[in-house]
Structure 1
Amino acid sequence: MRLAAGQVAVVTGAASGIGLAMARRFAAEGLKVVLADVEEAALEKAFTRLRDEGAEVLARTVDVGDRTAVLSLADAVYDTFGAVHVLCNNAGVGSGAEGRMWEHDPNDWKWAFSVNVWGVFHGIQAFVPRMIASGEPGHVVNTSSADGGIAPLPTASVYAVTKAAVVTMTESLYAHLKAEHARVGASVLFPGPHMLRTGLWESHRNRPGRYAKQRPRKTPYRSLDQWEAAMKEAGHEVAFTPVEEVAEHVVEGIRADRFWMLPPSEHSDRQIRARARSMLDRADPTYLESFVLD
């Protein structure tokens, strides 16, 4: 798909991190940008930043886990701009789950699925039919993660399961769009190839009351800075990918109509090969043994 000035891009989770980087990158291409996020103060800051940079921008506070809110977002976008050409279902949260899977608080699962899975579906249902009906070229980008989308991360199983679901949902969307002969493409994004400095580690700050933990945490939440410090103390250097590089990868992927927005990575390639080999050999998933669960 050719990106052109005057087109419209909608980005959820757009107040910070990857979402804000994508929004700024689209604005640099001359697109009108719609910012959607649950965090009102950060959203206002992002809106002001893009507006001051010369972008034509619309901002809406939206909980993507609320279908009615996403449908209302779509109405507002079409009322304001009359079209959508790029949709990035990017909003995501960690779960804050502790212990073994059978010990997890059910609300950890409900909250993570509400945002990471239902949020993607709500975006698809609210925007894609209108994008198809317009007859104009369009593209949908759904954000997954290597931690689940490529291979399970047992130490973050709730998050991993939701991100695996995003991959399958996007594969299904791709097939449905092809069956409709739509001019709308679909991609699944794996941000990286390294760690990213985003607010995902502190996503509990936006956890709604309806998904509050039913029992208190046994340990305090750990920030990204604390985790990085612990890794360095253990002798492990951590590499980070700038969010601007992820946004550039997205723009390049849209232009190339590339389904797998997967940056080159020896680590990811090893995971993909190991998992595929395990399945083809009908063998136990020994590639998971590298994770220490104790």
Structure 2
Amino acid sequence: MRLSQGQVAVVTGAASGIGLAMARRFAAEGLKVVLADVEKAALHKAADQLAQDGARVFAQTVDVGDRDSVSELADAAYETFGAVHVLCNNAGVGSGAEGRMWEHEPNDWKWAFAVNVWGVFHGIQAFVPHMIASGEPGHVVNTSSGDGGIAPLPTASVYAVTKAAVVTMTESLYAHLKAEHARVGASVLFPGPHMLRTGLWESHRNRPERYAKERPRRTPYRSLDQWQAAMKDAGHEVAFTPVEEVAAFVVDGIRAGRFWLLPASEHSDRQIRARAQSMLDRANPSYLEKFILD
């Protein structure tokens, strides 16, 4: 898809991290940008900064887990700019789950699925019919993660399961768009190839009351800086990918019409091969043994 001045991009989870980096990059390409996020103050701060840099911006507070909230975003985006050409379903959260899977609180799963899975579907349902009907070129980017989207991460099973679901949802979307001969493409994004400095580690700050924890956590939440320090103390240096590089990768992928927005990584390639080989061999998943703890 050719990106050109005057087109419109919608980004959820746009107040910080990858979402804000994508919005900035789209604006730099001359696109009008619609920013959506559940954090009202951070959202409007981001929108003001983009506007000061000369971008045409519209911002709306949205809970992507609420279908009506996303539908209202679509209505406002079309009323404001008259079209949508790029949709980035990027909003995501962790879960706060502790312990073994059978010990998890149901609300940990409900909240993570509401945002990470239902949020993507709500975006597709609210925007894609309009994008198809316009007859103009368009593209949908759904944000997954290597932690689940490529290979399971048993130590964060709730998050991993939701991100695996995003991959299958996007594959299905791609097939449906092709069946409709639509001029709308689809991609699944695996941000990386290294760790990212985003607000995902503190996503519990926006946890809705309807998905509140049912019992106190056994351990306090750990910030990214605290985790990085613990890794360093254990002798492991953590590499980070700037979010601006992820945004540039997304723009290049949209232009090229690539489905798999998967940066080159020996680590990811090993995971993909190991999992595929295990399935082809009908063998037990030995690649998960490193996660088996006493």
Q: Quick check: TM above 0.5? A: yes
Q: Which residue of 2 aligns with 1:43?
A: 43
- Give % identity: 87
What SS does the aligned partner of 1:45 have? Answer: helix
CA distance in 2, matches of 1:229, 1:289: 25
Partner Cα distance (1:267, 1:293) in 2: 21
Contact 1:43–1:59 (CA under 8 A) maintained in structure 2: yes
What amino acid does structure 1 have at the position aligned with 2:20? L
Distance of 1:293 and 1:159 partners within structure 2: 19
- Write the letter of the residue equivalent to 1:191: P
Is 1:59 aligned with 2:79? no
Structure 2: state its 5+ residue gaps.
none
Partner of 1:8: 8
Structure 2 CA distance for aligned equivalents of residues 115 and 174 of structure 1: 21
2:129 maps to 1:129: yes
Counterpart secondary structure, 1:10: strand
TM-score, scaled to structure 1: 0.99
**Mapping of 1:72-87 within 5 angstroms?**
72-87=72-87
- Distance change in 2, residues 1:58/1:230 (3 Å): same
What is the rounded CA distance, in whole Å, between the counterparts of 1:293 and 1:264 in structure 2? 30
Structure 1 unaligned blocks of 5 or more: none
Contact between 1:154 and 1:293, CA under 8 Å: does it hold in 2?
Answer: no
1:92-171 correspondence to structure 2 within 5 Å: 92-171=92-171
- Alpha-carbon distance in structure 2 between the residues aligned to 1:140 and 1:92: 16
* 1:212-223 map, 5 Å: 212-223=212-223
1:170/1:187 contact within 8 Å kept: yes
**Cα deviation, residue 50, structure 1:** 0.4
Please report how far the alpha carbon of residue 182 of structure 1 lies from its aligned counterpart in structure 2 after TM superposition. Answer: 0.1
Q: CA deviation at 1:292?
A: 4.7
- C-alpha deviation, 1:145, in angstroms: 0.0
Q: Within 2, Cα distance between the matches of 1:234 and 1:292?
A: 19
Contact residue 116 and residue 162 of structure 1 kept, 8 A: yes
CA distance in 1, matches of 2:213, 2:158: 14
Counterpart in the other structure of 2:248: 248
Distance in 1 (alpha carbons) for counterparts of 2:53 and 2:21: 13
User: 1:268 maps to which residue?
Assistant: 268
Match of 1:25 in 2: 25
Count of aligned pairs: 294
Superposition RMSD in Å: 0.5
TM-score by length of 2: 0.99
User: Per-residue displacement from partner, 1:206-242 (whole Å, max 9, x unpaired)?
Assistant: 0000000111100000000000000000000100000
Letter in 2 for 1:159: Y
User: Is structure 2 residue 286 aligned with structure 1 residue 289?
Assistant: no
Q: Distance in 2 between matches of 1:110 and 1:239?
A: 32
Q: Is the 8 A contact 1:136 1:183 kept in 2?
A: yes
Matches within 5 A, 1:190-229: 190-229=190-229
The residue number in structure 1 matching 2:34 is 34
Letter in 2 for 1:144: S
Superposed displacement of residue 293, structure 1 = 3.6
Which residue identity does 1:56 align to in structure 2?
R
Deviations 1:71-91 (A, max 9, x none): 000000001111000000000
2:222, 2:197 → 1: CA distance?
A: 14
Provide the rounded CA distance (Å) in 1 between the counterparts of 2:105 and 2:76. 36
